[in-house]
Amino acid sequence: MDQRILIVEDNKTLAKLISKKVKAALDFQVDVAYSLSEAKLFLKTYKYFITLLDINLPDAPNGEIVDYALSKNNRVIVLSANIDKEFRQKILQKNIIDYVNKGGVNDINYIIHTVKRLQKNQNHTVLVVDDSMVFRKQMHNILENMFFKVITVAHGEEALGILTQRPDITLVLTDYHMPVMDGLELTYEIRKEHDKNELGILAVSSNKDNEVNAIFLKAGANDFITKPFSKEEFSCRINNTIEALENIQIITNHANRDYLTGLYNRRYFFKAMAEYEEEIKSSGENFAVAMIDIDFFKKINDKYGHDIGDKVIIALSEILRSSTSHRDIVARFGGEEFCVVLKNINRYNALDIFERIRAEVEHFTFSIDHENFVKFTISIGAIMNGDNDLEESINQADMMLYNAKKEGRNRVIFSN
């Protein structure tokens, strides 16, 4: 179902401008109302992702539209030309997301950026740790209104338990003074397991001592906010921390991932395998290494062009990804060559998985158009880890791959 945005603005020129820009930048259906009475009809008919509301309308000059929209469980961004500080604070005390001046194009761009941010927030879970029920509820309401998934607990030990159960948590908001385990202890404990670039910590405290702020930051907090805080400062700091984490993730993905397939690249493969081999030294866990190559790939490129060749590579990467466990490592080494490591496995099961991958590729077809279809096959050379180091295991798997090619392609050769 298409998501919708409602714009309520009595200035028709401005309403049309906002609508045009929002439609161009965002994948939303946009409805426009010029009065409270029109807005009520829309709000009865549709469910909105967000409502952008002018607070001075011909039939509602005192912000009645805001109270009405909130009473119908709509999320609200207020649009206003009123810059009076007291009036602004009065409106911000309502359960709205933001108060935006409607002064020009930059303000419209800010609205678009905010909506994009709210969309992304749906992918994040925030853990709130505070022994004060009042502040827990306050932070929960603001965060939920910003489209975050929210979990609340009363102290640090409880928070550590939740973190082990919920790896999807992106950000922890922790109070300083708490029973059982305070916020500083919690920060130290979290940083033993989670890097600050993968899990954000925002410390919250009524302590106005700057040294406390510094201690938290040195302990690994990403940011610090002092109680009591304004809704705007709180929202900005939350969004800034989340955006910083997202940007780091993007940079990390660019460094570790193959640009075409999204699989790990050769560089990351060797880094991850070094860590894995260190991890299994004591357990003696077995793993299988396979080198995989697309048969006659040059002929595919020559016949259909490099765009189709790229689609073949992407199709194979999807089959490899879906046929392996999340613990396994699937990497594109370059061109049409891939390397797969199946972790904690014996030879019999590894051979079964590689044979299933080979067969799935053999039966896979995708269409170029109504008349032309592309089919392809792969050859696989595999070996179980033994006394060899990783480089030697890969070389042996490569030799098995060479043998598979020599024996006719579209087959798995697994070293004895």
Q: Span 254-267, mean pLDDT? A: 91
Q: Span 358-377, mean pLDDT? A: 89
Strand extents, DSSP E, 207-345: 223-226, 264-265, 287-294, 329-334, 337-343
- Give percent of the chain above pLDDT 90: 77
pLDDT at 331: 96
pLDDT mean across residues, the chain: 92
Do residues 65 and 55 touch, judged by C-beta distance below 8 A? yes
Q: Is 283 exposed, middle or buried (0-12, 13-18, 19+ CB in 10 A)?
A: exposed
Q: Span 75-87, mean pLDDT? A: 88
- Tell whether the model's pLDDT for residue 388 goes beyond 80: no
All residues at 6 or more sequence positions from 86 whose CB lies less than 8 Å from its CB, including other chains: none
The CB density around residue 154, as the number of other CB atoms within 10 Å, is 18
Over residues 151-184, the pLDDT tens digits come to 999 999 999 999 999 989 999 999 998 988 999 9
pLDDT at 252: 82
- Tell whether the model's pLDDT for residue 348 goes beyond 70: yes
Q: Measured between alpha carbons, how far is 305 from 149 in angstroms, rounded to an integer?
A: 45
Q: Span 359-376, mean pLDDT? A: 88
pLDDT at 81: 85
Least confident segment among 42-56, 363-377, 400-414: 363-377
Do residues 102 and 54 touch, judged by C-beta distance below 8 A? yes
Secondary structure (3-state) at 190: helix
Over residues 204-245, the pLDDT tens digits come to 988 676 788 889 999 999 999 988 888 999 999 999 999 999
pLDDT at 88: 87
Q: Measured between alpha carbons, how far is 217 from 210 in angstroms, rounded to an integer?
A: 11
Over residues 274-315, the pLDDT tens digits come to 999 988 888 888 999 999 999 999 999 999 899 999 999 999
For each of the domains in the chain, give its residue range(s) and CATH number, in order of start: 4-112 (3.40.50.2300), 122-255 (3.40.50.2300), 264-414 (3.30.70.270)
pLDDT at 209: 67
pLDDT at 371: 79
- Tell whether the model's pLDDT for residue 253 goes beyond 90: no
Rg (CA), the chain: 28
pTM above 0.85, yes or no: no
Instruction: Give the CA angle between residues 169, 171, 174 to the nearest 5°.
Output: 115
pLDDT at 1: 46
